[in-house]
Amino acid sequence: MVAAKQSALKPPPRLEGEEEVSATVAKNEFGRVLDMALRGGRVVITKHNAPTAVLLSADAYEVLAGRATPDLDALRAEFDVMLKRMQTPKARAGTSALFAASPSELGDAAVAAAHGPRRAARRA
């Protein structure tokens, strides 16, 4: 039943550099197929010309599973850019106004933000 559903579905587009082998080739030449996965990151294994499994390198799996170690230098650079964007006179004035606001003013601002810009414009 599952195979019938798979054959009725349009196969997904192949990714650039993605290798594809039949299940028979994967079984008989596993060492070569493993080398292909290590070089390219993934190999699609087909049965009757339909994708049935994917062999991934450990690095590709870690990225897919979201467990890859983040590049701390790249994250630091991204944070520095965001921080610089936030350190403008307008942002400082907004922060000062936020900390100087009364609870009532904060509540009014929260309600206005929740209703969106169109409703706030109609009130004005």
pLDDT, mean of residues 28-55: 91
- The pLDDT of residue 6 is 47
Angle at 36 between CA 25 and CA 11, to 5 degrees: 65
CB atoms within 10 A of CB 38: 15
Q: Residue 13 above 80 pLDDT?
A: no
- The pLDDT of residue 5 is 47
Q: What pTM value is reported for the model?
A: 0.44
- The pLDDT of residue 44 is 93
59, 108, 122 from 64: Cα distances, Å: 9, 43, 47
Q: For residues 99 and 51, what is the distance between their CA atoms, to the nearest angstrom?
A: 58
Of residues 1 and 35, more confidence is placed in 35
- Domain spans of the chain, in order of start: 2-65, 72-123
- Classify domain 2-65 by CATH architecture: 3-Layer(aba) Sandwich (3.40)
